[in-house]
Amino acid sequence: MKYVFTFLASLCLTQAATAQHNYVPSKENLAARKAFQDNKFGMFIHWGVYSILGDAEWVMTKQNIKKDRYELLPTFFNPIEFDAKAVVTLAKKAGMKYITITTKHHDGFAMYNSKISDYNIVKATPYGKDIFRALEQECEKQGIKLFAYYSQLDWHHPDYYPRGRTGLGVGRPDAGDWENYLDYQNAQIKELAENYNISGFWFDGFWDVLREKGRTPETRKEGIKRWKLLETYKLIHDINPALLIGNNHHLTPFAGEDFQMFEKDLPGKSTTGFGSAEVSALPLETCETINHSWGFNLQDDKHKSVKKLIRYLINAAGRNGNFLLNVGPMPNGKIQDEHVNLLEDIGKWLNENGDTIYGTRGGIVPATQDYVSTQNGKTLYIHILNPNLNELRVDDFDEKIKEVTFFKDNSKHKFQLKNEQLTITIPEDKKNEVTTIIKVILK
């Protein structure tokens, strides 16, 4: 497979990376962070030639498909039913404010018209169209922001060496030039930042090259040295200071990063082993799948209920985070009907209850298993998630209250605030199966 190398990016990286050690976000970047937090809900799209095999996005290494055999997939990847307008319209209908899509996943195949490598959807497939450009143009029309997922890990590139922990059975040579790979990676990142109207980057794969999975200072030092992260981040911010950078390394954020992400876990939780990194002061985002798979998986029919997905959104917002919900389009380019229907149902809920999510931050009432809170200025929303809870008691509540109402019908309700303990009864006729929302106006 032909690679067209350019070293323009590496010329920019000869400057010392100390600027990113002392990274101070620009005014434009701070404004972008605020808008990102206000948006609260986004669509994640995992899509590539791997969708043909219907075994999700890790199929190359999962089945140990040799690189030369995997290269056959692009030759019959022809997603003629892909419709950028339909995808963006669906995101908007679901109440999503931004889209993050895989421009290159771990298999190394670029889903955009890369000038750095011919291994891309325009040059290597019969489809021959730039789906990322199509999404960019449609996002601009419909007022949706676009983020570029980019995998630093690459099972296809010959210079991804020394190898990491994954992709060991795909038939790559036991040799390579790591510095050459970093130049290649940064050249692709540079063309994405310069040639597409994006809002930021969502990086993945950092963890592959680490000798251990731990979160020790040695692990951090090893990773940042191997990947030369500070140079990559400086490259991006020099092109456009407003671009937001997040990295799915499962560690406390590094200098130069603008938001912190949590994979399949809420901020501060550790149910999967991914999410136990310390929660930072940066904007937060948690990502999750509708079923169990990121990429299209023909046999994965374990779809989460609309109730569970809405509650995930509420729980994320109550912990001061965004919710990035994934779809994995089929090889023909369409999103499966079950996922479309679920997204539309979430959108219906947000049409009625969006004020309690959009533009909010985590509220002053700490999140528990029974309830979480969101807040916008003096307006506090308490989401009751336990339908068996008949009385809400919040200790250490040192604010004064002007009014308490149930959000759904705006009916006023009595409350007791004594010795900094807030007590609100929850009548049965006010309860909602998904969440009972109590609106508290503070003085």
The chain-wide mean pLDDT, for the chain, equals 94
Look up the pTM and report it: 0.95
- The b-or-e profile of 325-360 (16+ CB within 10 A means b, else e) is bbbbbbbebebbeebbebbebbbebbeebebbbbbb
**pLDDT tens per residue across span 378-397:** 999 999 999 999 999 999 99
- Residue 427 maps to which CATH number? 2.60.40.1180
Tell me the residue range of the domain where 377 lies: 371-442
Helix (H) or strand (E) holding 229: helix 229-239
Q: How confident is the model at residue 271 (pLDDT cuts 50, 70, 90)?
A: confident
Is 393 within the bounds of a domain?
yes
Rg (CA), the chain: 23
Residue 210: per-residue pLDDT: 85
Within 8 A by CB and 6+ apart from 216, the residues are: none
Q: Are residues 209 and 335 in the same domain?
A: yes
Q: How far apart are CA 322 and CA 51, in angstroms?
A: 27
Within a domain: 365: no
Residue 18 has pLDDT above 50, yes or no: no
pLDDT value of residue 12: 44
In the listed set 314, 331, 360, which residue is the last one of a domain according to the structure?
Answer: 360
Strand partners, 404: 440
Question: In a 3-state reduction of DSSP, which class is residue 301?
Answer: coil
- Does residue 264 lie in a domain region? yes
**Which of 306, 326, 360 delimits the end of a domain?**
360
Q: Does 182 lie in the same domain as 158?
A: yes
- Rounded to whole angstroms, the Cα distance separating 373 from 104 reads 37
Report the range of poorest mean pLDDT among 92-106, 165-179, 211-225.
211-225
pLDDT in tens, 112-145: 999 999 999 999 999 999 999 999 999 999 999 9
The count of domains in the chain is 2
pLDDT reading at 64 higher than 80 = yes
φ and ψ of 67, to 5 deg: -55, -45
218 to 20, 36, 203, 215, 345: CA distances (angstroms): 20, 32, 21, 8, 46
Percent pLDDT > 70 in the chain is 94
Same domain, residue pair 310 and 433: no
Residues 248 and 349 in one domain: yes
